[in-house]
Amino acid sequence: MKGTALPVALLLLLAAIIAPTTAHTSEDLVYGYECRAGLCRKVELSEENFSKAISLPVCRLFCGSSIGTLWPKPTGAVRLDTLMRQVDISFIDFNITGIARKEKLWKAAENRWMDMIDAKIPDRKILTRGGYRLTVNVNTPDDVAPAKLTLDTDESYRLDVDTDPSGHVVASIAASNFFGARHGLETLSQLIVYDDLRREVQVTANASISDAPAFKWRGLLLDTSRNYYSVKAIKRTLDGMALVKLNTFHWHITDSHSFPLEVRKRPELYKLGAYSPRQVYTQRTVAEVVEYGRVRGIRVMPEFDAPAHVGEGWQHKNMTACFNAQPWKDFCVEPPCGQLDPTVDGLYDVLEDIYSEMWELFSPDVFHMGGDEVSTSCWNCSLPIRQWMKAQGWGLETADFMRLWGHFQTEALKRVDTVANGTQTPIILWTSHLTEEPFIDEYLNPERYIIQIWTTGGDPKVKKILKRGFKTIVSNYDALYFDCGGAGWVSDGNNWCSPYIGWQKVYDNTMSEIAGDYEHHVLGAEAAIWSEQIDEHTLDNRFWPRGSALAERLWSNPNESWKQAESRLLLHRERLVENGLGAEALQPQWCLQNERECPVDAYDAQA
């Protein structure tokens, strides 16, 4: 059906299948849609043409695209028959096999899915009664292994929707595990729409979709140290991620600004380090967030950034250098400054306690140790550090301070391995001076470390990391730092990474362009929100719908540019809002209702 209008016979078939069960008066007349030349065109309705009308959601499912309004677009074969069935929402059944020991997990996933269907209905009082029964069958054979997302998890699924002669609709999802099946449910929810002309919930009567992600790592990073975010706001972000099959929430939970994480073995850290007693992530609430993410197919991965980016909470330990030193620009990239002192033996016992409780709370399959923006001038301003280095026979040159950094990383990693029971958990580090030549060869093992790239996508240092065999996660700031674009906060003008990054640049930020021949070393990517100028009140419109653009890049890795996705994204943005996310508006609503009439070059090809 690509690029062709729906035939008149098909419009009549749709009208016959979904004809209203009650008479409509002139007060009910609104706009409807017709598919013309592969585009949904708005038409004014009358009593005469109402019976042949199609609502916008129905029209967009079938008109001009083989994938309808699905987001992210599936990577396998898609078949959507042009037939809709009214769903009786009081007769939706779930049959789930292969879920021994996972009943609670699946029940939570089922309840969430039903909430999503309910969110499609603007007013139950006017919902047309009747319709057909919908049965959802889910088959996952892994009934023994715990449902935990790892780098080896198969997230593929197959979805088939069929209708029997009685009108009973059966949706069948087959997957290797909970996570793939959950993605199938997400796709199924997008094949169910609310028809505002007939005031009924409808489902695609026949469909088949095979799907699997292009990249294993599809994430968002949220910094909760610079500004605190409520658990409610974090959960809302996880909801948005689940809608678009993002699978990693990178929780940058502490920094020099605050230490809001409860560590029971070291309570002084959060008692001194949190902004207030109310702004602490207790172990109970962290466990709640981790499980909330798991139900939505998301790993919640903690980052404990060190040896830099520490300060508040560490005041009385004599384990830091340059804490809140002034003028700050001489010691760090933003206030307050602070770095751990790697020469203090007791430091590593504290780190082990922090790591131990993070392991208990998060059970990470991958752990982020930070390693970002270490300042040699900070360490060099400390007399005890300089004396310790001289006692080792070291100098005080840059290479010597890099050696100190390597010493810290080695000793800290030993403590990670202790709490991880020697499982050799993969470790993520940010790009830094430590990941540059020659230090990367001296201190980092590509079999153990994953490097998260935050430099520009075109930085030649990226290829130097990749050619050494390091797996990477891409977060190039020129496309994936969603806090860019705003006023300066430590200076006049705009913030350091301005301008604002549009969703189009996010969508076209391809891993192949960044990695070239080494794309096979790229696990995926993350978009980041660093929270100097963002808090929970402005969070949603910073992540969404740009996070959705990233999701399609990582799930589908399309060959086409953002232009082919624009009209789908407009409708997808409405779905985000429908599910409680304050997603940024992309265009006037008129453009949503008048497909392809807004792009400046829409008619250039016809000229």
| Same domain flag for 184 and 243 | no
- List, in order, residues 6 or more apart from 198 with CB less than 8 Å away: 18, 19, 20, 55, 86, 128
What's the average model confidence in pLDDT over 555-563? 97
Residue 32 domain-assigned?
Answer: no
| Same domain flag for 206 and 221 | no
- Examine the residue annotation and report whether 373 is marked as an active-site residue of this protein: yes
Query: Domain of 297: which CATH number?
Result: 3.20.20.80
The pLDDT, as a whole number, for residue 227 is 98
Q: What tokens does 526 get? A: 């993350």
Q: What tokens does 261 get? A: 């994480």
Q: pLDDT by residue (tens digit) across 355-367?
A: 999 999 999 999 9
Q: pLDDT by residue (tens digit) across 4-51?
A: 333 333 443 444 344 444 444 435 658 999 999 999 999 999 888 887
Residue 315 domain-assigned?
Answer: yes
Cα 391 from chain centroid (whole Å): 48
Residue 49 domain-assigned?
Answer: no
The pLDDT, as a whole number, for residue 49 is 80
The pLDDT, as a whole number, for residue 100 is 53
Give CA separation, 63 vs 1, 176, 223, in Å. Answer: 7, 32, 41
Tell me the one-letter amino acid at 332.
C
- List, in order, residues 6 or more apart from 317 with CB less than 8 Å away: 268, 350
| Same domain flag for 95 and 241 | no
| Same domain flag for 533 and 548 | yes
Query: Roughly what angle, to the nearest 10 degrees, separates helices 347-362 and 398-419?
Result: 50
Domain finish residue from 187, 211, 235 = 211
Q: What tokens does 29 get? A: 């007349």
Cα 201 from chain centroid (whole Å): 28
The pLDDT, as a whole number, for residue 606 is 53
Select from 229, 183, 296 the least CA-distant residue to 543.
229
| Same domain flag for 190 and 224 | no
Residue 576 domain-assigned?
Answer: no
Q: pLDDT by residue (tens digit) across 291-331?
A: 999 999 999 999 999 999 999 999 999 999 999 999 999 99
| Same domain flag for 383 and 334 | yes
Residue 304 domain-assigned?
Answer: yes
Select from 178, 175, 207 the least CA-distant residue to 190.
207
The pLDDT, as a whole number, for residue 310 is 98
| Same domain flag for 501 and 353 | yes
The pLDDT, as a whole number, for residue 141 is 85
Question: 380 pLDDT exceeds 70?
Answer: yes
Q: Determine if the peptide bond prior to 307 is cis (ω within 30°).
A: yes
| Same domain flag for 390 and 467 | yes
Cα gap 545→585, rounded to integer Å? 8
Cα gap 82→205, rounded to integer Å? 8
The pLDDT, as a whole number, for residue 429 is 98
Residue 201 and residue 192 in contact, taking contact as beta carbons nearer than 8 Å: yes
Residue 21 and residue 128 in contact, taking contact as beta carbons nearer than 8 Å: yes
Residue in the block written with tokens 């009108």: 167
Residue 530's domain comprises: 217-560
Residue 3 domain-assigned?
Answer: no
| Same domain flag for 328 and 184 | no
Local structure of residue 580 (DSSP, 8 states): T
Local structure of residue 526 (DSSP, 8 states): E
Q: pLDDT by residue (tens digit) across 181-208?
A: 999 999 999 999 999 999 999 999 999 9
The CA-CA-CA angle for residues 413, 253, 359, to 5°, reads 45
Residue 495 domain-assigned?
Answer: yes
Cα gap 276→286, rounded to integer Å? 17
| Same domain flag for 206 and 224 | no
Confidence of residue 144 (pLDDT cuts 50, 70, 90): low
The pLDDT, as a whole number, for residue 101 is 53
Domain finish residue from 538, 560, 582 = 560
| Same domain flag for 202 and 232 | no
Report the domain count for the chain. Answer: 2
Tell me the one-letter amino acid at 196.
D
Q: pLDDT by residue (tens digit) across 398-421?
A: 999 999 999 999 999 999 999 999
Which long-range CB contacts under 8 A does 400-405 form with residues at least 24 apart? 401/376, 402/376, 402/433, 402/434, 402/439, 402/443, 404/342, 404/343, 404/379, 405/307, 405/342, 405/374, 405/433, 405/434, 405/439, 405/443
Rounded to 5 degrees, what are φ and ψ at 361?
-80, -40
The pLDDT, as a whole number, for residue 600 is 82
How much of the chain exceeds pLDDT 70, in percent?
93
Beta-strand relationship, 132-139 and 169-175: parallel
The CA-CA-CA angle for residues 265, 267, 271, to 5°, reads 165
| Same domain flag for 356 and 472 | yes
Residue 584 domain-assigned?
Answer: no
The pLDDT, as a whole number, for residue 145 is 65
Residue 281 three-state SS: strand
Output b/e per residue, 252-284; b: 16+ Cβ within 10 A. bbbbbbbbbbbbeebeebbeebbeeeeebbeee
Domain finish residue from 178, 211, 244 = 211
Q: Which of 288, 352, 373, 574 is catalytic?
A: 373
Q: Which residues pair with 494 in a beta bridge?
A: 487
Query: Domain of 173: which CATH number?
Result: 3.30.379.10
Q: pLDDT by residue (tens digit) across 219-278?
A: 999 999 999 999 999 999 999 999 999 999 999 999 999 999 999 999 999 999 999 999
The pLDDT, as a whole number, for residue 12 is 33
Q: pLDDT by residue (tens digit) across 46-99?
A: 888 887 788 999 999 999 889 999 999 999 999 999 899 999 999 999 998 866
The CA-CA-CA angle for residues 281, 287, 292, to 5°, reads 110
Q: pLDDT by residue (tens digit) across 522-549?
A: 999 999 999 999 999 999 999 999 999 9
Select from 498, 477, 500 the least CA-distant residue to 430.
477
